Amino acid sequence: MIHKALTIAGSDSGGGAGIQADLKTFQELGVYGMSALTAVTAQNTLGVHGVYPMEPAAVAAQLDALGADLQPDAVKTGMLFSSDIIRTVAEKVERYGWRKLVIDPVMVAKGGSQLLLREAVDALIARLLPLALVTTPNIPEAEMLTGMRIASMQERELAAKRIVEMGSRYALIKGGHGAPEEPMVDLLYDGRSFAYLESKRVDTRHTHGTGCTYSAAITAELARGKTVAEAMQTAKQFIQAAIEDGLGIGGGHGPTNHFA
């Protein structure tokens, strides 16, 4: 039986993040990958050199094509760029009943380029979060979504509760942006209780695309019928290995290793 996963995201010409990271991850985890492009970025390991968003009608047409034929078992969103694209995606997710929806609320690239316009954060919260099975912010993204300043684990737990109150069934707040001297802990909240997944911090600059890869791995596992908690465990192992075995390519922040 073939399981199918769809990424609705931006293209990274450097191949380390965005739809390229997602499709490579789907493939490595044994899932048939599909993509709907929201934007093209001109990008390498040194940074983002240009952002070219798609017309919302082009995003709609891609999603209609998939809804009419290759219905995905699970869907993730990455870079969505504008409120118009967010509204288009939300409408199609509703129309085609895509309930296994993972939202990686991509906002700013590590080099500082804006991948989501500031004006679009409200649309993300109002239109897309209520449709999410899982939302996977890092700490700065969780701060943008909740308007909170997040320093302690209690504040992370409170932010996760707020994200679930916004309508996402689960909130996964990733610990990668926590203080370097502290253990790295990802926090999963299901509306009732918290689960904590601790991992070893790897001393590397090659972490480009980690968020995309992690959420893509969760999506692949959901497509295969796993629960959110199971999907997170497998995805965590996949992303940890991808960071530890970095390829070391490019002169800047290189990609993680998607070869399983």
List active site positions: 174, 207, 209-212
Select the residue whose beta carbon is closest to ligand PLP and give its number.
18
18 binds ligand PLP (CB under 6 A): yes
> Of the ranges 9-17, 91-99, 134-142, 161-169, which one interacts with ligand PLP (CB under 6 A)?
9-17
Question: Smallest gap, in angstroms, from Cβ of residue 153 to ligand PLP?
Answer: 24
Binds ligand PLP by CB under 6 A, chosen from 37, 109, 166, 235: 109
The angle, 0 to 180 degrees and rounded to 10, between the axes of the packed helices 210-223 and 228-244 is 140
Residue 41 tokens read as 């970025």
Nearest CB to ligand PLP, comparing residues 72 and 211: 211
12 binds ligand PLP (CB under 6 A): yes
DSSP state of 126: I
- Give the pairing of strands 32-44 and 101-103: unpaired
105 binds ligand PLP (CB under 6 A): no
The alpha carbon dihedral of 152, 200, 9, 14 has a sign of positive
> Under rule CB under 6 A, which residues in 139-198 are in contact with ligand PLP?
none
CB-based contacts of 224, cutoff 8 Å, min separation 6? 3, 29, 30, 31, 73
Q: For 81, left (φ over 0), alpha (ψ -120 to 50), or beta?
A: left
Nearest CB to ligand PLP, comparing residues 29 and 39: 39
Q: For 62, left (φ over 0), alpha (ψ -120 to 50), or beta?
A: alpha
Binds ligand PLP by CB under 6 A, chosen from 8, 17, 63, 159: 17
Q: Do the Cβ atoms of 42 and 48 come closer than 8 Å?
A: yes
Nearest CB to ligand PLP, comparing residues 67 and 252: 252
> Under rule CB under 6 A, which residues in 199-218 are in contact with ligand PLP?
208-212
Question: Smallest gap, in angstroms, from Cβ of residue 41 to ligand PLP?
Answer: 5
Total residue count of the chain as it appears in this document: 260
Binds ligand PLP by CB under 6 A, chosen from 9, 74, 86, 133: 9
Which positions from 33 to 72 touch ligand PLP by CB under 6 A, shown as an x/- string? --------x-x-----------------------------
Q: State which H helix or E strand residue 156 sits in.
A: helix 153-165
Question: Smallest gap, in angstroms, from Cβ of residue 147 to ligand PLP?
Answer: 21
138 binds ligand PLP (CB under 6 A): no
CA-nearest of 168, 162, 102 to 130 is 168
Query: How many residues line the site for ligand PLP (CB under 6 A)?
Result: 19
Secondary structure percentages of the chain, helix, strand, coil, to 5? 40, 25, 35
* Positions in the binding site for ligand PLP (CB under 6 A): 9-10, 12, 17-18, 41, 43, 78-79, 106, 109-110, 115, 208-212, 253
